[in-house]
A = this chain, B = another copy of it.
Amino acid sequence: MTHLVPVILSGGAGTRLWPLSREAAPKPFMPLPDGETLLGKTALRAMLLPDVRGLVTVTNRDYYFHTKDVYAGLGEREPRDATYLLEPFGRNTAPAVAVAAQLIRARHGDDAVMLVLAADHLIRDQASFASAVSRAMELASEGLLVTFGITPTHPETGFGYVACGEALGGRAFRAAGFVEKPSLPRALELLAAGTHVWNAGMFAFTAAALLAACERHAPAIAQAARTVWQPLASRTDEAMLEIDAATFASAPDMSIDYAIMEGAAAAGEVAVVRGEFDWSDVGSWQAVSELTAADADGNHGLGERVAIATRGTFIHAQDRVVATIGVENLVIVDTPDAVLVAHRDHLQRVKEVVGELKARGHEAYKLHRTVARPWGTYTILEEGPGFKIKRIEVKPGGQLSLQLHHHRSEHWIIIRGTARVTADDRVFDLPAGESTFIPVETRHRLENPGHDTLAIIEVACGDYISEDDIVRFEDRYGRVAG
């Protein structure tokens, strides 16, 4: 019996859902109104399918630890046998899928079916999704490249479309062609004709079929994937594989649709399965706002809100109370360091805000006030001349690097859990309520030897307090050089 290997492609620019998504924590990692992430939901959706073995995640190396954290957060449903292909930079979907196919052919054989999923799409109807995947597996096992289509409900100009040709039975068709994002008149035609479906950006094929199609239609990508895979092939037991930057750069920056599927469709090698499930690419605040129920005035959102004479407005209130008076059809998103107030009709311009902040050198385009690290997170509570206050949370077993600062001393106050502190030659444990002082030039390390989260308040004092005043001697996460 053929088995299924889900491949999650995860990344993004963090621009369309700013300020909740940021460059360093793009859409897959963004907490939705229910508190879960799109990445977590995607992994869970894949894990719940029958005949699944393993999980391959292709993502930027900067997101590796964050991704593992999200999977660990699934508890019992945490993917077993997860493998990570880490990109040095984004190169669109075709090279990512080709390298993943090399990995899957090597580890699972020619006939394993890869199910390629975007990390930041939302599907709620698991049964219909599973049914579509099951049909796709049958077609993939016949050697076809399978894409998934969604029946259009409106003349959307933001998605690509797939033309349905010869019926293959079981809601499947041979793909007669691909249409890039259409103009509105063309989208209206496609909607009226009923012959086209939205291209959902999900695919199923055997590794062998994909690689063969890649050789035929995108030989430069096939070549790059082979070269990238070569040094990794012998590392058969490793879960984390870094893609070589120089080789990867030689692969054309192309989507799988454009590089492979269009040509394959013309050769009659592509099938499309019409999904009956709901599907959203959560591409704007409009889509996020629709995830919460509206009240009688059409207002929705989460957090502490006071809405007076307010209609059709979505409010994401995080730590603060948000009050509105006499406004209509707004999206208001409040985060610890940035607030967005946008009219629903202009949400596609959110990325311009991010561009402007980037141009100004304002950190809010990139980082949240809470920053994810391999060992946990830190949150800057306040900084001023001569001091910086952080709350540092360390995961059970987590360990910061052994380090030293030339220009700042640090006071650590334990507020939850137990801290193991290294300060030069001494190593000692501190429970909640205790504190210690790390003078300048002291080699120090913080770790969490316990089974619960460790939280400390760090007050750094000195005339120069910047992340670059750090000398790392030893780092479990390989950051000594970096």
By a beta-carbon cutoff of 8 Å, the part of chain A in contact with chain B is 19, 304, 306, 308-309, 317, 319-327, 330, 332, 334, 336-343, 345-347, 349-350, 352-353, 356-357, 362, 364, 381-382, 384-387, 389, 391, 409, 411, 413, 415-416, 432-433, 435, 437, 457, 459, 461-462
Q: A345-B326, A353-B306, A389-B389 are in contact. Are A435 and B437 (CB under 8 A)?
A: yes
Name 29 interchain pairs, CB-CB below 8 A, sorted by A. A306-B356, A308-B346, A308-B353, A309-B346, A309-B349, A320-B338, A321-B338, A321-B357, A323-B338, A323-B339, A323-B353, A324-B342, A325-B350, A325-B352, A326-B342, A327-B330, A327-B342, A332-B339, A332-B341, A381-B381, A381-B382, A386-B415, A386-B416, A386-B432, A389-B389, A389-B457, A411-B435, A415-B459, A415-B461
Contacts of A352 in B (CB 8 A): 308, 325
Contacts of A389 in B (CB 8 A): 381, 389, 457
Q: B343–A325 contact, CB under 8 A?
A: yes
| Least CB distance, A78 to chain B, in whole angstroms | 27
Contacts of A409 in B (CB 8 A): 433
Contacts of A332 in B (CB 8 A): 339, 341
Closest to A346 in B: B326
Q: A320–B304 contact, CB under 8 A?
A: no
Give Cα distance in the complex from A309 to B343, angstroms. Answer: 10
Give Cα distance in the complex from A374 to B386, angstroms. Answer: 26
Contact residue among B320, B391, B411, B432 (Cβ-Cβ distance under 8 Å from A337): B320
Give Cα distance in the complex from A306 to B332, angstroms. Answer: 14
Q: B338–A341 contact, CB under 8 A?
A: no
Give Cα distance in the complex from A297 to B299, angstroms. Answer: 29
Q: B364–A321 contact, CB under 8 A?
A: yes
Give Cα distance in the complex from A413 to B349, angstroms. Answer: 44
Give Cα distance in the complex from A435 to B387, angstroms. Answer: 13
Q: A308-B352, A461-B433 are in contact. Are A341 and B321 (CB under 8 A)?
A: no
Contacts of A330 in B (CB 8 A): 327, 341
Contacts of A327 in B (CB 8 A): 330, 341-343
Q: A387-B415, A389-B389, A411-B411 are in contact. Are A325 and B339 (CB under 8 A)?
A: no
Q: A325-B341, A325-B346 are in contact. List 20 more A-B contacts (CB 8 A).
A: A19-B323, A306-B353, A306-B357, A320-B337, A321-B362, A322-B339, A323-B339, A323-B340, A323-B353, A323-B357, A325-B342, A325-B349, A326-B342, A327-B342, A341-B341, A382-B391, A385-B416, A389-B389, A435-B435, A459-B459
Give Cα distance in the complex from A327 to B326, angstroms. Answer: 13
| Least CB distance, A377 to chain B, in whole angstroms | 14
Q: A304-B362, A457-B459 are in contact. Are A339 and B321 (CB under 8 A)?
A: yes
Contacts of A347 in B (CB 8 A): 325
Closest to A323 in B: B353
Contacts of A415 in B (CB 8 A): 384, 386-387, 459, 461
